[in-house]
Amino acid sequence: MHIELSSRTIDSVGSSVKNDNDIRSKNGKFSDILSQTFRPKSDLTTRNVELARSRREILHAASINSKTAMKLANDYAHNALGSPLLDLSDRTNIRYSLTGEPVTSKSSQYFQQISQAMQRQCETLYQQETAKGTPAITILEKIFSLHDTLPPKFRDMLGI
């Protein structure tokens, strides 16, 4: 995605690029440009590969330094999973980005319920494993395994 700024454009990772035939926000609706940045739901394999790669990088960082491992395990155990990934391009019709499902009070309640339950499970796991003297990197792996048990509908809402 490119957004025009003066005579230059900025790509989605903040790199400045030349204005050639790039997509410019003035040439199309913002929702059209925004939709190009998200992968369709059918791209589940790619999402899983990216998630696995990210986890490998996190576990690698944790394996290098025990203090980093402790901080990561603590952070993953005590911080929320995140917010749902929403498509806000039509303010009167907010949807979940990956599914296109409309955001309703019922779906928001479902998201909160699953998120809070997972948070409690992660905190309990962390406390139990820390008390047993389990290495932080192992706790982190167990938290990731626990995240893998999230319902597919919730994972889609999160965008993972």
The pair of structure tokens assigned to 52 is: 């696995």
Same domain? 72 vs 121: yes
Domain total of the chain: 2
Same domain? 46 vs 62: yes
Same domain? 23 vs 96: no
φ, ψ (nearest 5 deg) of residue 46: -65, -40
Residue span of the structural domain in which 138 resides: 40-158
Question: Three-class SS string for the chain?
Answer: CEEEECCEEEECCCCEECCCCCCCHHHCCHHHHHHCCCCCCCCHHHHHHHHHHHHHHHHHHHHHCHHHHHHHHHHHHHCCCCCCCEECCCCCCCEECCCCCECCHHHHHHHHHHHHHHHHHHHHHHHHHHHHCCCHHHHHHHHHHHHCCCCHHHHHHHCC
Burial class (CB in 10 A: 0-12, 13-18, 19+), 69: buried
Same domain? 4 vs 61: no
Question: pTM here?
Answer: 0.67
Same domain? 72 vs 116: yes
Confidence of residue 47 (pLDDT cuts 50, 70, 90): confident
Which of 73, 71, 80 lies closest to 129, judged by CA? 73
What pLDDT is attached to residue 91? 87
Same domain? 66 vs 30: no
pLDDT digits (tens, 9 = 90+) for 52-93: 898 999 999 999 999 999 999 999 999 877 889 999 998 889
Task: Give the integer Cα–Cα distance in Å for 8 and 1.
Answer: 13
Same domain? 78 vs 136: yes
Check pLDDT > 80 for residue 19. no
Same domain? 12 vs 53: no
Confidence of residue 94 (pLDDT cuts 50, 70, 90): very high
Same domain? 26 vs 63: no
Task: Give the integer Cα–Cα distance in Å for 141 and 60.
Answer: 11
Asked if residue 75 lies in contact with residue 133, where contact means CB atoms within 8 angstroms, the answer is no
Same domain? 24 vs 85: no
Same domain? 50 vs 116: yes
43: number of CA atoms within 13 Å, CB side? Answer: 11
Same domain? 145 vs 128: yes
**Average pLDDT in the 25-53 region?**
62
